[in-house]
Amino acid sequence: MKEKLHFNSKTIHGGQSPEKAYGAVMPPIYQTSTYAQSTPGGHKGFEYSRTHNPTRQALERSLASIEAGTFGFAFGSGLAAMDAVLKLLKPGDEVISTDDLYGGSYRLFTKIFEDFGIRFHFVNMSSMVHIDAAINENTRLIWVETPTNPMMNVIDIKAVATLCKSKNILLAVDNTFASPYLQQPLVLGADIVMHSATKYLAGHSDVILGSLVTNDKNLAEKLGFIQNASGAVPGPMDSFLTLRGIKTLHVRMQRHCENAAQIALYLKQHPKIEKVYWPGFEEHPNHQIAKSQMTDFGGMLSFVTKGANYDSAIRIVENLKLFTLAESLGGVESLAGHPASMTHASIPKEIREQSGVVDALIRLSIGIEDVRDLISDLDQAIG
Ligand X SMILES: *Cc1c(COP(=O)(O)O)cnc(C)c1O
Binders of ligand X in range 169-188 (CB under 6 A): 174, 176-177
> Min. distance of Cβ 53 from ligand X in angstroms?
19
**Distance between CA 295 and CA 298 in Å, rounded?**
9
In sequence order, which ranges of 197-329 are alpha helices (DSSP H)? 217-230, 236-246, 249-269, 287-293, 310-319
Catalytic annotation present for 266: no
- Between 342 and 382, whose beta carbon lies closer to ligand X? 342
- Between 146 and 215, whose beta carbon lies closer to ligand X? 146
Q: Which of 30, 102, 106, 200 is catalytic?
A: 102
Q: Which of 174, 191, 238, 296 is catalytic?
A: 174
> Min. distance of Cβ 137 from ligand X in angstroms?
29
Catalytic annotation present for 56: no
Residue sitting closest to ligand X (CB): 78
> Min. distance of Cβ 17 from ligand X in angstroms?
28
| Closest by Cα among 270, 326, 259, 339 to 299 | 259
Binders of ligand X in range 96-115 (CB under 6 A): 102, 104-105
Cβ neighbour number for residue 338 with a 10 Å cutoff: 22
Angle at 195 between CA 84 and CA 111, to 5 degrees: 50
**Distance between CA 307 and CA 313 in Å, rounded?**
10
> Min. distance of Cβ 257 from ligand X in angstroms?
17
Q: Is 205 among the residues that bind ligand X (CB under 6 A)?
A: no
**Distance between CA 352 and CA 151 in Å, rounded?**
11
| Closest by Cα among 175, 350, 355 to 277 | 355
Catalytic annotation present for 20: no
Catalytic annotation present for 165: no
Residues in the chain: 383
Which residues, 6 or more positions from 208, have their beta carbon under 8 angstroms from its beta carbon? 76, 77, 78, 198, 238
Q: Which of 198, 227, 259, 355 touches ligand X (CB under 6 A)?
A: 198
Indicate which residues carry an active-site annotation.
50, 102, 174, 199
Which residues in this chain contact ligand X in the complex, by CB under 6 A?
77-79, 102, 104-105, 145, 149, 174, 176-177, 196, 198-199, 208, 210
